[in-house]
Structure 1
Amino acid sequence: MKMFIDGAWREGKSSIDICSPYDRSVIDKAPLADAQDAEDAVASAYAATQVMEDMPYYRRSEIIHRAGELLLERKEKIAELITRENGKTITEARGEVGRASMTLFAAADAAREISGEVLPLTARQVPNIENKFGFTFRVPCGVVLAITPFNVPVNLAAHKIGAAFAAGNSVILKPAYDTPLSTAHLVKAFLDAGLPETAIQLITGSGSKIGSQLCPDPRIRKITFTGSFEVGDTICRTAGLKKVTMELGGNCPVVVMADANVDHVVNSLVQGGYGMAGQSCVATQRAFVHKDIYEEVVNGLATRIAEFEQGDPLNESTTMGPLIREKDAVRVSETILGAAEEGARVLGPDAGRRNGNFVRPAVVADVKPSMRIYREELFGPAIGFIPFTDVEEAIAGANDTNYGLAAGLFTENLDNAMYVARKIKSGIMHINSASRWRVDHMPNGGLKDSGMGKEGPRYAIEELTESRTVIMHLKNQAPY
Structure 2
Amino acid sequence: MGSLQAQAFYKIFKEESEIPEEYKVPEIHQREYLLNGELVEWKGEVTNIYSPICIPTENGLERKLLGSVPNTGPEEAMEALEACVEAYHDGLGEWPIMSVEERIKCMQKFVYLMIQQRDLIIKLLMWEIGKTLADSTKEFDRTVEYINQTIDALKDLDRESSRFQQAEGTIAQIRRAPLGVVLSMGPFNYPLNEIFTTLIPALIMGNTILFKLPKHGVLAHYPLLNAFKEAFPKGTVNTLYGKGADIITPIMESGKVNVLAFIGSSKVANGLKKLHPKVNRLRAILSLDAKNAAIITKNADLEVAVNECILGALSFNGQRCTALKLIFVQKDIAEEFTKKLTSAVSEMKAGLPWEKDVKITPLPEVNKPSYLKECIEDALSKGAKVLNEEGGYNEASFVFPAVVYPVNHDMKLYHEEQFGPIIPVVPFESIEEPIDYQISASHGMQVSIFSQDPSEIASLIDPFVNLVSRVNINCQAQRGPDVFPFTGRKDSAEGTLSVFDALRSFSIRSLVATKLTESNKALLNTIVREHDSNFLSTDYIF
| TM-score scaled by length of structure 2 | 0.82
- Alpha-carbon shift at residue 12 of structure 1 (Å): 5.3
What does the per-residue CA deviation read over 1:413-445, in whole Å, with 9 as the maximum and x for residues that have no partner?
A: 334334323312112221111223522232111
From 474, 482, 505, the equivalent of 1:432 is 474
Residue 8 of structure 1 is matched in structure 2 by 38
Contact 1:411/1:432 (8 A) holds in 2: yes
* Residue 377 of structure 2 corresponds to residue 337 of structure 1: yes
* Residue 70 of structure 2 corresponds to residue 31 of structure 1: yes
Report which stretch shifted further, 89-98 or 370-379.
89-98
Distance 1:94 1:342, change over 3 A: same
Q: How many residues align?
A: 470
Residue 371 of structure 1 is matched in structure 2 by 411
What does the per-residue CA deviation read over 1:103-128, in whole Å, with 9 as the maximum and x for residues that have no partner?
A: 11111112223355977753xxxxxx
- Alpha-carbon shift at residue 72 of structure 1 (Å): 4.1
From 72, 75, 79, the equivalent of 1:40 is 79
Matches of 1:288 and 1:186 in 2, distance apart?
Answer: 43
Contact 1:110/1:166 (8 A) holds in 2: no
Matches of 1:314 and 1:121 in 2, distance apart?
Answer: 61
* Residue 391 of structure 2 corresponds to residue 351 of structure 1: yes
Contact 1:162/1:457 (8 A) holds in 2: no
Residue 60 of structure 2 is matched in structure 1 by none
Residue 341 of structure 2 is matched in structure 1 by 301
Contact 1:281/1:379 (8 A) holds in 2: yes
Report which stretch shifted further, 252-261 or 63-72.
63-72
Residue 285 of structure 1 is matched in structure 2 by 325
* Partner SS for 2:183: strand
Contact 2:34/2:229 (8 A) holds in 1: no
* Partner SS for 2:53: coil
Contact 2:305/2:475 (8 A) holds in 1: yes
* Residue 263 of structure 2 corresponds to residue 226 of structure 1: yes
Matches of 2:440 and 2:224 in 1, distance apart?
Answer: 39
- Alpha-carbon shift at residue 135 of structure 1 (Å): 4.8
- Alpha-carbon shift at residue 304 of structure 1 (Å): 1.1
Matches of 1:13 and 1:247 in 2, distance apart?
Answer: 33
Paired letter, 1:338? D
* Partner SS for 1:445: coil
Contact 1:253/1:287 (8 A) holds in 2: yes
Contact 2:38/2:229 (8 A) holds in 1: no
Distance 1:171 1:384, change over 3 A: same
Residue 119 of structure 2 is matched in structure 1 by 76
* Residue 506 of structure 2 corresponds to residue 464 of structure 1: yes
From 446, 456, 459, the equivalent of 2:488 is 446
Distance 1:445 1:474, change over 3 A: same
Matches of 1:53 and 1:3 in 2, distance apart?
Answer: 23
Matches of 1:188 and 1:268 in 2, distance apart?
Answer: 40
Paired letter, 1:14? E
* Partner SS for 1:22: strand
Matches of 2:50 and 2:181 in 1, distance apart?
Answer: 31
* Residue 244 of structure 2 corresponds to residue 207 of structure 1: yes
Report which stretch shifted further, 65-74 or 166-175.
65-74
- Alpha-carbon shift at residue 134 of structure 1 (Å): 4.6
From 152, 159, 165, the equivalent of 2:203 is 165
Matches of 1:168 and 1:197 in 2, distance apart?
Answer: 13
Residue 147 of structure 1 is matched in structure 2 by 185
Paired letter, 1:320? I
Distance 1:187 1:103, change over 3 A: farther
Distance 1:53 1:416, change over 3 A: farther
Query: What does residue range 171-210 of structure 1 map to in structure 2 within 5 Å?
Result: 171-192=209-230, 194-210=231-247
Matches of 1:294 and 1:65 in 2, distance apart?
Answer: 52
Distance 1:407 1:189, change over 3 A: farther
Q: Identity of aligned pairs, percent?
A: 24
Contact 1:145/1:174 (8 A) holds in 2: yes
Matches of 2:66 and 2:310 in 1, distance apart?
Answer: 31
Paired letter, 2:180? G
Report which stretch shifted further, 293-302 or 305-314.
305-314
**Runs of 4 or more above 6 Å deviation:** 117-120, 476-479
Matches of 1:266 and 1:69 in 2, distance apart?
Answer: 41
- Alpha-carbon shift at residue 469 of structure 1 (Å): 4.1
Matches of 2:164 and 2:335 in 1, distance apart?
Answer: 59
Paired letter, 2:444? G
Residue 61 of structure 1 is matched in structure 2 by 104
Residue 125 of structure 1 is matched in structure 2 by none
* Residue 282 of structure 2 corresponds to residue 237 of structure 1: no
Paired letter, 1:216? E
Matches of 1:44 and 1:406 in 2, distance apart?
Answer: 39
Matches of 2:143 and 2:214 in 1, distance apart?
Answer: 17
What does the per-residue CA deviation read over 1:185-210, in whole Å, with 9 as the maximum and x for residues that have no partner?
A: 34444445x22232111111111111
Higher Cα Rg: structure 1 or 2? Answer: 2
From 311, 324, 327, the equivalent of 1:271 is 311
Matches of 1:450 and 1:314 in 2, distance apart?
Answer: 33
Matches of 2:427 and 2:67 in 1, distance apart?
Answer: 48
- Alpha-carbon shift at residue 403 of structure 1 (Å): 0.7
Matches of 1:260 and 1:267 in 2, distance apart?
Answer: 12
* Partner SS for 1:137: strand
Contact 2:53/2:352 (8 A) holds in 1: yes
* Residue 147 of structure 2 corresponds to residue 104 of structure 1: yes
Contact 2:316/2:359 (8 A) holds in 1: no
Matches of 1:466 and 1:437 in 2, distance apart?
Answer: 25
* Residue 402 of structure 2 corresponds to residue 362 of structure 1: yes
Contact 1:445/1:455 (8 A) holds in 2: yes
What does the per-residue CA deviation read over 1:343-381, in whole Å, with 9 as the maximum and x for residues that have no partner?
A: 112122321232212111011121101110011110011
Paired letter, 1:21? P
Matches of 1:62 and 1:327 in 2, distance apart?
Answer: 43
Contact 1:254/1:398 (8 A) holds in 2: no
Contact 1:58/1:111 (8 A) holds in 2: no
| TM-score scaled by length of structure 1 | 0.92
What does the per-residue CA deviation read over 1:159-218, in whole Å, with 9 as the maximum and x for residues that have no partner?
A: 1221112211111111212321112334444445x2223211111111111110222333
Matches of 1:286 and 1:119 in 2, distance apart?
Answer: 50
Q: What runs of 5+ residues in structure 2 fail to find an aligned partner?
A: 1-29, 55-62, 522-542
CA RMSD of aligned residues (A): 2.2
* Partner SS for 1:315: coil
Residue 358 of structure 2 is matched in structure 1 by 318
- Alpha-carbon shift at residue 284 of structure 1 (Å): 0.5
Paired letter, 2:36? D
Paired letter, 1:269? C
Distance 1:390 1:12, change over 3 A: farther
